Every structure is written in C-alpha cells, then in structure tokens.
Amino acid sequence: MRYQTVIGLEVHLQLKTKTKAFCGCAIDFGKTPNSGVCPVCLGFPGTLPVYNKEALNSAIKVALAFSCQIQEHTKFDRKNYFYPDLPKNYQISQFDLPLSRHGYLDIFSDNKTKRIGITRVHLEEDAGKLIHESNASMVDFNRAGVPLLEIVSEPDLNSPQEAFDYLTSLKNIIEYLDVSDCDMEKGSLRCDANISLRPEGSKELGVKAELKNMNSFKGVKDALVFEVDRQAALLEAGQAMVQETRLWDAENGETVSMRNKEGAKDYRYFPDPDLTVFIIEQTMVSRIKSQLPELPHDKMRRFMRDYGLSEYDAKILVSSKKNAQFAEECIRKYPGKDKKNMANWLIGPMLSEANSRKVELHELNVNMEDLISLIGFVENQSISHLSAKLVLTQMIDSQKPAELIIRENNMLQISDTAELEQVISGVIRENEKSVTSFRAGKTNALMFLVGQVMKKSAGKANPKIVGELIKRRLTDA
Amino acid sequence: MAIDKGTVEQVAHLARIELGPGELEKLSRQLHDILGFIDKLSVLNIAMVEPASHILPISNVLREDEVRTCLTVDQALENAPSKNGNFFSVPKVIE
Ligand SMILES: [Zn+2]
C-alpha cells in the first residue's frame, strides 16, 4: 500500500533579549553555572514574575512575520510537572489564550511553493540545564527563565524534505527579524516532530510518534526519514502503532522509544495568578508591523523587479540575510547597465566557490571592488570567462587583487588578430578534413577548429574572435 | 462532579504525595464534599458576567529589558540541600 506522510513541527526559539522573561537576570550562556540567577528564576516563594517588554515586542514581530492573528486578550498559564530542571515545578507557558494563531509560512520545496499553516505562536520560559553524573544530576539554572517562543505548525508537511525546507525558511525569517540566534547546535532553536503515516487518500490521521533530541536540521530530516520507513514497515506488517515519544540517536541513525512511565500527560494547566492578562491593542500591533524589516519574500520580489532576476536566482540570494546584504551591495556598486551580469556572477562562480568551501557568499572574503574589476576584464574580453573563474579561485585563496593575478599568470587573452591569424593558418593547414567538412556545411567542424586554436594558444586566444576569423578565412577563400 | 478513589490516587501521584492507610478513603470523601460546596455556585446566574482569568482589574504589567544584579553563586546555592561545586545536586533522574 502507498502511504502519505503527515508531519507537524514544534519549534522552540530562544529570544535574544538582554534579560530573562520574568526577571532582570542577564542572559549569558558563557557564565559560571548558577551565576545568572535570582530569587524569581529560582522559583523562591514570595517572588513575583514580571514579563519583559522587549520579549513581547519580539514575539509579536515573529507572529506578524508568519501572518498570525495577534489575539487581543492573552494570558500566561502554569504547566505543572516535576523535573529537576524546573525550579518551580511548573513552567510558565500559554494554554487556551496564546499570543497568536492562524498564521502560515510559505516554503519552496521541490521547485514548488507550498503554504504551511502555523497553528500558534506562544510565549513561555526555558528550563535549566541538567548534567548527569554517575550517581547524581547537577543543575544549572542560568538558562531557567530565558524567554522562549513556541511555534507550532499544522500537520501540513508531507515529507522529511518539506520539514527541512520549513525549518530553513523559518530560520531565514527569524534571522531577518534579528530576534534569535537560531542555532540548533547551541540550543537557541529546538525542534520536535510529530509524524504519522496514513493510507494514501485517507482523511483520518494515523497514530503518531513524537520525535525529540535532534540537534540539527539535517538531524530532523534524518530522524523523519528513518521514522517513515519504520512506520511503513509496521503498518505493512499489520502491526498496531503505539502513540509514543521517540528519541533520535544520531550516532546509530535510529529513533528509540522512550519507555512511557507516566501514561497520558496531565499538565493541569491553570492561569498563573502571579501574572496579569495582556490586552494587545491594535495600535501596538500596527506600530510593530510598521517597524518590521524587509522580509525574505519581499526582498525576493524587489530583487526580481529592480534587478531583473529570475525567481529562482532571487530566492538563492535572499536565502540568508547576510548573503542578501552582500549581494545587494555588489549589485548596487556594479557600474554595468545590466545588473543581471553581477547577479549571474554571484549565483554562478561565487556561489559554487562558497559551496565548495562550505561557507556563505559573504564569508568568501572577496572584495567587492575587486570582483567588479574581475568582471570588467571579462566584459572587455581581456580574459575569458573560464580563466576569470580560475582568477576568482586564486583571489579567494591568496587574497590578491584580480588584476595582479591576471598579470602574474600572463592570462590576458590574445585578441590581437595578427597574432591569432598566424596560429589559425597553422591549424587550417593541419586539419584539412575538418576544413572540408566545414565547407560542406558541418558547423561542428568550426567548433573543432576553434578548439585546436585554443589548445595551441594555451587557452589564451579569444574564442569569439578566433571563430569569426576562421569563418571569414574559410568562406572568403 | 464525583470524586472517586481512582481520581484521588491519580492526583496524589501527580503531586508526588504518598497516602497512608485509610487516607485514600478519607480524602476521597473530603474532596467529594468540597466539590459539593463549590457546586453551589452553579445556582447563580452568570450569563451577564465576563469570564475572568485574574481577580485584579489590571493588565499589561511589563518591565523594561534592563539588567538587574543577580545573586552570587554562593548566595544562590546557600539553601540548597545538596550541592556540587557551582551546581545544585539532585538525585539522578535518568539511568
Ligand atoms: Zn532571575
């Protein structure tokens, strides 16, 4: 039987405010354990939490960027459970009146744009960190109380690749907003995945597994790929699925069931009496909306309109905030009329250099003026496109300017016709067969002859000029 | 709402409270009576009353994102029943 994969993602995002969500403790993860704590975030009796204005602003920005409806009336609830990383034995979170609902995120997957629903974006606080020793667990509360956002997607994702693309898109938008570091390895972005399979065409959702413990986007994708196979095999064998939480074991490349001790979770949510409600006025929402930076999708549209780029190319350039900034500066500084020339260089040779070095465009350390001068050499036909690419590689490796590399390597193209004519005469003399077939109308032969001239000139001949010269010689005669 | 022994056992478990002999029966009875008292509220007509999640008529209590002095590590750990270096130490939670 064919199955449809159904995936929903829960993303937790640490907001990079100066202080924690409910107290004035500075957020600094490099610090000595338990040096960034106070009676509020240690959950001492008699203390009162007060929410951070900047965290609320950032949260509204994120909700708006995902086109969510900001709820006029929102409040905090207590989510009760016992675990030693939680000093109060409850986490301050939001239950029935979250900050926002009904948003969406467009992803670009498999060359198609797909809209993924966002169920809600709500506010909560982070827990502390546990380090397990042989006979005890050690607790560091520096992270306890750091403001978190929970971003819950609808089960609209239908493949591990779509889940990966969703995370990439989400991260890109958050980076543009500059409200979180979004670093999964450092834990500032965390992701749990719900996944189930159902027979193709079925409307009912299958029994899901909740996957945890992935610490990279690729980890999320790998865990989902494994889970699709595992669940399909179980269904195929007619075995009943159990709803359970499974941990991703990256080393062995498998998900492992967490033995379920507690049964169904019962968090006994109730409104936190220590925190008053929030009435979010429309004027506040409009003010924040007007302060939003240009988001990736808008930037892409503008790149297409202003610089004549294709959607595909524009998408690549806006896929990270820093890349987009770098690209736009290059394009603006480029003096040529057709801005697309510069864009082609960025998407072509520059991007492949970046990919092969596993860095981003802006991290290549290519000086913009220098790149412009290199493109100039190609445009006035002083060097071939092929050698320009070699020069670019050397520019990055040696950090020397383009012009110096071209001169040092004697790469200037021979466009001097007198010099070229000599080489051409030789080639024509040595390749009678090709000459005859060219005269018989076989254009391929011309390519061959040009190739021979290029070879003799050690790649320095200007192929366009060579082609024209040969053509003229053979048709005139 | 009726409170049976199963509910009391479940609530006790969630609150990590161990019940002594006879306590289960006693608490089931008492909780049942308490809920009975609260049930008296259901005779009130509240059709015109807005639901509230807080008893105080105040909203939007926020603070600026400004750093305040934290405790020192020694102060933070002063009341800890068990500590290890700069950490709180608790019974091991995973095997
Ligand atoms: Zn604190």
Chosen for mutation from B53, B54, B89 (greatest number of chain A CBs closer than 10 Å) is: B53
Rounded Cα distance, A273 and A77, in Å = 8
A188 and A308 inside one domain = no
Nearest to A136 among B65, B66, B89 (CB): B89
Q: Which of A265, A288, A311 is the last residue of a domain?
A: A288
A152 and A300 inside one domain = no
User: What residues make up the domain containing A453?
Assistant: 417-476
Rounded Cα distance, A75 and A279, in Å = 9
Dump strand ranges (E) for A67-160.
Answer: 69-70, 73-74, 77-80, 90-93, 100-109, 112-125, 129-132, 136-140, 147-153
- Please report the pLDDT score of residue A477 as a whole number: 53
pTM of the shown model: 0.81
- Please report the pLDDT score of residue A98 as a whole number: 96
Query: What does pLDDT average to in each consecutive run of 10 residues of chain A (477 residues)?
Result: 93 96 89 92 94 97 96 95 91 96 90 92 95 91 96 96 95 94 91 94 89 93 95 89 89 85 73 94 94 91 87 86 89 84 88 88 86 84 80 86 79 70 85 84 85 80 81 75
Rounded Cα distance, A387 and A384, in Å = 5
- Please report the pLDDT score of residue A334 as a whole number: 87
Whether A325 and A293 have beta carbons less than 8 Å apart is answered as: no
Q: Three-class SS of residue A48?
A: coil
Residue A23 forms contact with B (CB below 8 Å) = yes
Write down the residue that tokens 């890109």 correspond to. A172
- Please report the pLDDT score of residue B46 as a whole number: 86
State the nearest Cα–Cα gap between A55 and chain B, in angstroms.
8
Closest CA to A245 of A206, A207, A199, A203: A207
CATH of the domain at B21: 1.10.20
Which residues in chain A touch residue B51, judged by CB atoms under 8 angstroms apart?
none
Count of alpha carbons within 13 angstroms of residue B40, beta-carbon side:
5
Q: Which of A288, A318, A348 is the last residue of a domain?
A: A288
Whether A384 and A462 have beta carbons less than 8 Å apart is answered as: yes
State the nearest Cα–Cα gap between B25 and chain A, in angstroms.
23
Non-local (6+) Cβ contacts of A430 within 8 A are A452
Rounded Cα distance, A406 and A204, in Å = 65
Domain presence at residue B53: no
A246 and A275 inside one domain = yes
Which residues in chain B touch residue A24, judged by CB atoms under 8 angstroms apart?
63, 66-69
Residue A59 forms contact with B (CB below 8 Å) = no
Strand partners, A199: A3
Neighbour-count burial of A443, counting CB atoms closer than 10 A to its CB (0-12 exposed, 13-18 middle, 19+ buried): exposed
Residue B51 forms contact with A (CB below 8 Å) = no
User: Is A279–B59 a contact, with Cβ atoms under 8 angstroms apart?
Assistant: yes
User: Is A51–B63 a contact, with Cβ atoms under 8 angstroms apart?
Assistant: yes
State the nearest Cα–Cα gap between A61 and chain B, in angstroms.
16
Q: Three-class SS of residue A466?
A: helix
Neighbour-count burial of A13, counting CB atoms closer than 10 A to its CB (0-12 exposed, 13-18 middle, 19+ buried): buried
A113 and A225 inside one domain = yes
Domain presence at residue B93: no
- Please report the pLDDT score of residue A315 as a whole number: 86
Chosen for mutation from B60, B69, B83, B94 (greatest number of chain A CBs closer than 10 Å) is: B60
Q: Which of A386, A408, A430 is the last residue of a domain?
A: A408
CA of A94 to the centre of ligand 1 (A): 20
Domain presence at residue B58: no
CA distances from A79 to A82, A86, A88, A458 (A): 10, 11, 10, 73
Q: Three-class SS of residue A95?
A: coil
Domain presence at residue B92: no
Summary count for chain A: helices (H), strands (E): 16, 17
Whether A16 and A180 have beta carbons less than 8 Å apart is answered as: yes
User: Is B76–A35 a contact, with Cβ atoms under 8 angstroms apart?
Assistant: yes
A107 and A195 inside one domain = yes
Instruction: For B53, name the nearest residue in chain A, comparing CA atoms only.
Output: A271
The amino acid present at A126, given as its one-letter code, is D
CA of A321 to the centre of ligand 1 (A): 32
User: Is A137–B91 a contact, with Cβ atoms under 8 angstroms apart?
Assistant: yes
Residue B42 forms contact with A (CB below 8 Å) = no
Tokens (6 digits) for A54: 């900047």
- Please report the pLDDT score of residue A261 as a whole number: 53
User: What residues make up the domain containing B14?
Assistant: 5-42
CA of A43 to the centre of ligand 1 (A): 9
Whether A217 and A168 have beta carbons less than 8 Å apart is answered as: yes
A245 and A321 inside one domain = no
Residue B73 forms contact with A (CB below 8 Å) = yes
Split into its structural domains, chain B has a count of: 1
* Mean pLDDT within B67-91: 93
State the nearest Cα–Cα gap between B56 and chain A, in angstroms.
8
CATH of the domain at A465: 1.10.10.410
User: Is B54–A42 a contact, with Cβ atoms under 8 angstroms apart?
Assistant: no
- Please report the pLDDT score of residue A259 as a whole number: 67
A125 and A38 inside one domain = yes
Chosen for mutation from B11, B16, B54, B65 (greatest number of chain A CBs closer than 10 Å) is: B65
A41 and A15 inside one domain = yes
Domain presence at residue B48: no
User: Is B94–A137 a contact, with Cβ atoms under 8 angstroms apart?
Assistant: yes
- Strands A69-70, B62-63: pairing is unpaired
A389 and A320 inside one domain = yes
Split into its structural domains, chain A has a count of: 3
Neighbour-count burial of A390, counting CB atoms closer than 10 A to its CB (0-12 exposed, 13-18 middle, 19+ buried): middle
Strand partners, A109: A112
- Please report the pLDDT score of residue A173 as a whole number: 95
Closest CA to A176 of A58, A283, A346: A58
Residue A247 CA from chain centroid, whole number: 24
A193 and A66 inside one domain = yes
A388 and A431 inside one domain = no
CA of A83 to the centre of ligand 1 (A): 19
- Please report the pLDDT score of residue A255 as a whole number: 93
Residue A137 forms contact with B (CB below 8 Å) = yes
Sign (positive/negative) of CA torsion A320, A322, A326, A331?
positive
A77 and A188 inside one domain = yes
CA of A74 to the centre of ligand 1 (A): 23
Nearest to B59 among A34, A268, A277 (CB): A277
Domain presence at residue B30: yes
User: Is B76–A24 a contact, with Cβ atoms under 8 angstroms apart?
Assistant: no
Whether A350 and A364 have beta carbons less than 8 Å apart is answered as: yes
Domain presence at residue B61: no
pLDDT tens track for B38-66: 999 889 888 888 877 788 889 999 999 99
Helix/strand/coil percentages in chain B, nearest 5 = 40, 10, 50
Non-local (6+) Cβ contacts of A111 within 8 A are none
Count of alpha carbons within 13 angstroms of residue B91, beta-carbon side:
2
